[in-house]
Amino acid sequence: MSGDRRKEIVRHLSEDDLDRLLTESTDEKLTERLIFIKRLYKGATLEDAADDVGRSSATGTRWARRWNKGGLGLLMPNFGGGRPPKLGPAQRERLLDLLREGQPWKKQEIQHLINEEFDVEFHPAHLTTFLEKLGLSYAIPRTKRPSRPENAEEILDERVSDVFDEGSDEPHNKRDGDDEEGWVVDEEIRTDGGTVLGFLDTSHPQPWDNSQRLYTVDDPHITRPLVKLDEPAVGFYALSGESVLQFPTTQEKERICECLEGIREQNPLARILLVLDNFSSHVCEYTRKRAHQLGIDLVFLPVGSPDLNPIEQVWKSLKWEASPLIVENAAEYRALLTELFEKLTAQLSFAASWIDNHLGSYLQKLR
């Protein structure tokens, strides 16, 4: 009958034997399993029999399978003295292999996997603790872009190495096919005062962004003025030197070059190494040439690799801190963003792993 999950159960024992064992049992685990089997003997569905003893249908399915295979001996494992571990070392290693093959997972999917592979059921609260001890990460997975090369980090390492190579007379930003004219550093630009390394990126924070959870007694609403920031925010997160936040009217190449001029103005005496993405107004010859004239060497990230730009974490923190604050107009919001950006970019922690993974011995060359 459709939807009827009555289980064909092997009668290893008679009903009288089941009743006798129930009468004699002083073990809670044994008693609930015997009651479950007796209910199946009487024609109950798996769900109903499991529910009668306070167990899930998944547990009922597992118990019925064990009973059919080996009777009471397999249904009631001999735990010996003390509480047994849920999964032994070998089973944990096997579980990690399975999780690695099928990741990412939802918690309920992991519970089902453990049930199916090891005939073990965790309480939901304990499962969370178990997975933490197992070393699993619980986070929103980053979307991997199809255009991202498999060796993205190696490509970045090579580009960082190239920009620190001072043996070439060729302008670093120049590419094959570029016009030969104009690749000269402006006369007033000085680059002999050390090296500044920083990260550039564009974001579009808005006053209505809600990124932070807050406690409220009544409905969780915030009444905000209708304020909108039309222009993008272009940030420069400097590991050494001065960080800068600017608000150009557009992301066109001319406006991006004005942002580069602003970065140079705040860092007047040093060579500037600028890590950035492959946005069209960044990679075009116009921008690359102007950057060279300003004494700024560009280090382009591999395609589809925004996670390799530490300023992404700065933007995330900035939006989180700004989200519950109320402003009256766009000018006030820009001032708020500038204040938060200055505070956040004073911390090197956003770039700690980038420094360890990609800067290495070049760190001593930064002023």
Per-residue model confidence as pLDDT tens digits over 42-71? 888 988 888 888 888 888 888 888 888 888
Plot region of 63 (φ>0 → left; ψ -120 to 50 → alpha; else → beta): alpha
Decide if pLDDT at 83 tops 60.
Answer: no
pTM: 0.64
Is residue 213 pLDDT above 80, yes or no?
Answer: no
Query: In the sheet where 233-238 sits, what is the strand order?
Result: 244-246, 233-238, 195-203, 271-276, 296-300
365 and 164 Cβ atoms separated by less than 8 Å: yes
For residue 158, what are the contacts with CB-CB under 8 A and spacing of at least 6?
none
Residue 35, pLDDT > 70, answer yes
The C-alpha R_g of the chain, in whole angstroms, comes to: 32
**Listed residue (199, 192, 244) closest to 367, CA to CA:** 192
Relative to beta strand 195-203, strand 233-238 is antiparallel
Q: Whole-angstrom Cα distance, residue 240 to residue 346?
A: 10
Tell me the pLDDT band of 300, cut-offs 50, 70 and 90.
very high
Whether residue 7 is predicted with pLDDT greater than 90 in this model: the reply is no
Residue-range domain boundaries for the chain: 15-75, 89-133, 152-211+223-365
Q: What's the farthest any 2 CA atoms get from each other in the chain?
A: 103
The superfamily in CATH containing domain 152-211+223-365 is Ribonuclease H-like superfamily/Ribonuclease H (3.30.420.10)
270 backbone dihedrals φ, ψ, rounded to 5°: -120, 160
Coil, strand or helix at 112: helix
Q: Name, of 4-8, 64-68, 81-85, 259-263, the range with top average pLDDT.
A: 259-263
Residue 174: pLDDT above 90?
yes
pLDDT at 255: 97
How many Å apart are CA 304 and CA 99, to the nearest integer?
26
Looking at the chain, list the stretches that DSSP marks H as alpha helix, in order from N- to C-terminal side: 15-24, 28-41, 46-52, 57-75, 89-102, 107-118, 124-133, 152-164, 253-266, 280-283, 285-293, 311-322, 330-345, 352-354
